[in-house]
Amino acid sequence: MTGSGPRPAADDAPAPADLPRAFVDLHCHTSGSFDCLSDPVAVVRTAAARGLTHLAVTDHERIDAALRARDAAPNGLSVIVGEEVRTAEGDLICLFIEEAIPRGLPAQETIARVRAQGGLVGIPHPFDRFRGSLLRTEALAGIAGAVDWIEVHNARILGGGNDRAQAFAREHGLPGVAVSDAHSLMEIGVAYTMLDGDPSTPAGLLAALRSASLVPRRASLVVRALTPVAKVVQRMRGRGRLPVSATTGGAR
DSSP codes, 134-201:
GGGSTHHHHHGGG-SEEEEEETT--TTHHHHHHHHHHHHT--EEEE--BSSGGGTTSSEEEEES-TTS
Has residue 243 been placed in a domain? no
Rounded to whole angstroms, the Cα distance separating 227 from 229 reads 5
Within a domain: 14: no
Query: Residue 246: its pLDDT value, please?
Result: 58
Burial (0-12, 13-18, 19+ Cβ within 10 Å), 2: exposed
Separation between Cα atoms, residue 208 and residue 189, nearest integer Å: 18
Greater pLDDT, 10 or 156: 156
> What's the structural domain count of the chain?
1
Indicate whether 154 belongs to any domain.
Answer: yes
Residue 158: CATH number of its domain:
3.20.20.140
The answer to the question of residue 10 being in a domain is no
Question: Residue 124: inside a domain, yes or no?
Answer: yes
What are the tens digits of pLDDT across the range 15-51?
A: 355 789 999 999 999 999 999 999 999 999 999 999 9
Query: Average pLDDT of the chain?
Result: 87
For residue 130, is pLDDT > 90? no
Query: Domain for residue 15, yes or no?
Result: no
Among 53-57, 59-63, 68-72, 138-142, the range scoring the smallest mean pLDDT is 138-142
Containing structural domain, residue 30: 25-232
139 lies in some domain: yes
pLDDT (tens digit per residue) in 158-195: 888 899 899 999 999 999 999 999 999 999 999 999 99
20, part of any domain? no
